[in-house]
Copies of this chain bind each other. A is one copy, B any other.
Amino acid sequence: MKIATLSIGDEVVFGEIVDTNAPHIARHLYDVGLKVQRHLAVGDAEEDVMAAIRTLASTSEAVIATGGLGPTTDDITAAAAAKAANLRLELNKKALAHLRRFLAERGRNVDSANKKQALLPAGSGMIPNPTGTACGFHFQLNDCTFYFLPGVPREMARMIEETVIPMLREQSLQDSIIRIRVLKLFGLPEAEAGTRLGGLTGADSPVTVAFQVDFPEIRIKLRAEGDDERLVVRLLDETCLKAREKLQGYIFAENDETMDSVVATLLRTKGLTLSLAESCTGGLLAKRITDIPGSSAYFLEGAVTYSNAAKIRILGVSPRLLEEKGAVSSEVAMAMASGMRKVSGSDIALAVTGIAGPDGGAPGKPVGTVFLALSTNSGCQTREYRFFGSRKEIRTITSFTALDLLRRHLLSC
């Protein structure tokens, strides 16, 4: 089936915003076996919208359009669509009922601006919008079905999932079962991961494997398709297990989990408390830990000890050690972690010291040199790393590496 997206809005076509709706739709359709062939974007001018609709009607079998369904006068999509299809606008009763109910729940009445949102091309079907006033609609033009949705990403996403994808699958006679599993990997280069997963699935296997790099993590998308849901799920489970075996401990999360949420869950379920001593990450690690709601249950405190004086006073690092080994050293990283654990009384303390750049490198300790240390009641471990990239990249990968070290420790204890 030939599918196209159509994004409507001056803000898109003049580049004021980056259109994330079209890629969102394409990705979710791809996941259920439907390939989008082209994306088109035009501004809010009626003639441009009409021309786009007419062109797409002769080249596509399904078009998912977003934008221009709001209550203001510059929202002209419904009117332009009606004109392009030689239909008149009429008050859609289902859409009006939705508007009434939606606004009543918020203690408001339907005013004339809102009422405009219930004027749809005659004969078109209504697409429910559970989270906003703008209903969607669909109609047929030539051999093409047009689906019109609001441009608000959150509203659009839900309508795609709940209504448009089921309708498209029916339209395309696509009724096989498709399931997706995403494994998130950290600490192994993409090429190495690819080699390890070579032969994971055969050439004619109903499971496919795709890689996507989202620095600094790699996402491995496993996709299984078939007629029997139980078989599809079992195949996916088996492939997932095999992939995990081949990649040992490098898979840190699945699907919607993140490194931050996985570490949070481990700390909570193990009932352990955490404190942090940061130098080069400068609070980034604490920010990531406290991004997670409820983190106050296990996170006690963090120290951003940028100056040597702070390392000495707060963490009890010895001035002689700082002088002899330098602030960026495994010895100081360990002293920071041990000191932090002692003063905070936490079960675990994680410390970071390093050179994020762009300046501050020295012979033997170039920009990107980082030491991590993890102090627990069973001792203190330290690791040295050499990262590359911009200040931002070095700080990002350092925080990722530190959380991964913590994750691996929590899994083993």
Contact = CB atoms under 8 A, between A and B. Distances in A.
Interface of A: 7, 12-20, 22-30, 35-43, 48, 51-52, 55, 59, 212, 276, 278, 281-287, 289-291, 293-296, 299-307, 309-310, 313-314, 343-345, 357-360, 391-392, 395
B300 A303 contact: no
Contact of A284 (B26, B37, B283, B293): B283
A306 B310 contact: no
Nearest to A20: B18
Per CB-CB distance, the 4 closest pairs between chain A and chain B, nearest first, are A282-B290, A283-B286, A15-B26, A15-B27
A80 to B, nearest CB: 14
A357 B293 contact: yes
Nearest to A55: B55
A276 B276 CA distance: 15
Given A304-B302, A307-B300, A19 B23 contact: yes
Contact of A39 (B16, B23, B41, B300): B41
Contacts of A295: 282, 306
A48 B24 CA distance: 21
Nearest to A296: B306
B16 A212 contact: yes
Contacts of A43: 37
Nearest to A283: B286
B286 A282 contact: yes
Contacts of A302: 282-283, 302-304, 306
Given A13-B39, A283-B290, 18 more contacts: A7-B39, A13-B26, A14-B30, A15-B23, A15-B29, A18-B23, A19-B23, A38-B40, A276-B283, A282-B286, A282-B290, A283-B287, A283-B289, A284-B290, A287-B287, A291-B391, A296-B307, A301-B304
A360 B297 CA distance: 12
Contacts of A55: 55
A304 B303 contact: yes
Interface-central residue, A12, A26, A39, A313, by most chain B CB under 10 Å? A39
Interface-central residue, A282, A285, A304, by most chain B CB under 10 Å? A304
A306 B291 CA distance: 13
Given A14-B26, A283-B286, A286-B282, A41 B38 contact: yes
A23 to B, nearest CB: 4
B303 A307 contact: no
Interface-central residue, A40, A282, A294, A360, by most chain B CB under 10 Å? A282
A290 B304 contact: yes
Contacts of A40: 38-41
A38 B26 contact: no
